[in-house]
Amino acid sequence: MSPLIDAERLKAQPNCRQPFALLPEEEVAPRQPSHLAENASASCPLLCALLRDKDLPFRETYSQREIAIIFGKRERTVRGWTAEGRLTAYHLGGLRYFAEDIEKFIRDSRLGRTKEEK
């Protein structure tokens, strides 16, 4: 009988807690489906430019850790932005941030807007 957990298979899987920017290239999924690539630059140009500068893939949703990596901040800072209402997060098996909300956050940050001014 084979064991319930295949140790070799577990070793072959990337650590799901490791941030996407730190995964070795061969473990990273293809950059993005073609429909995401085409629509991303039109709907989220500021986020796409930031990701391109950091050589990171575009995704529809991001974790708190990924947001921290994208902006070069600590996760605590991202939590603060979320608590202040500057960055919208959704509970989808953990906090997730949609690309459109990140784009809005970047746009508002560039204009120097705060929550009270909106």
- pLDDT per residue over 53-68, tens digit each? 999 999 999 999 999 9
Instruction: Please tell me the distance from the alpha carbon of residue 109 to that of residue 77, in angstroms, as a whole number.
Output: 14
Residue 67 domain-assigned (yes or no): yes
In whole numbers, what is the pLDDT of the chain averaged over residues? 74
pLDDT per residue as tens digits for the range 101-116? 999 999 998 776 555 5
Residue 73 domain-assigned (yes or no): yes
Residue 88 domain-assigned (yes or no): yes
In total, how many domains does the chain have?
1
Residue 13 domain-assigned (yes or no): no
CB 62 within 8 A of CB 99: yes
Residue 12 domain-assigned (yes or no): no
Host domain of residue 101:
35-118
The pTM of the full predicted model, rounded to 2 decimals, is 0.62
User: Region 17-44: what's the mean pLDDT?
Assistant: 51
Residue 17 domain-assigned (yes or no): no
Closest to 70 measured CA to CA, from 83, 82, 60, 57: 57
Residue 3 domain-assigned (yes or no): no
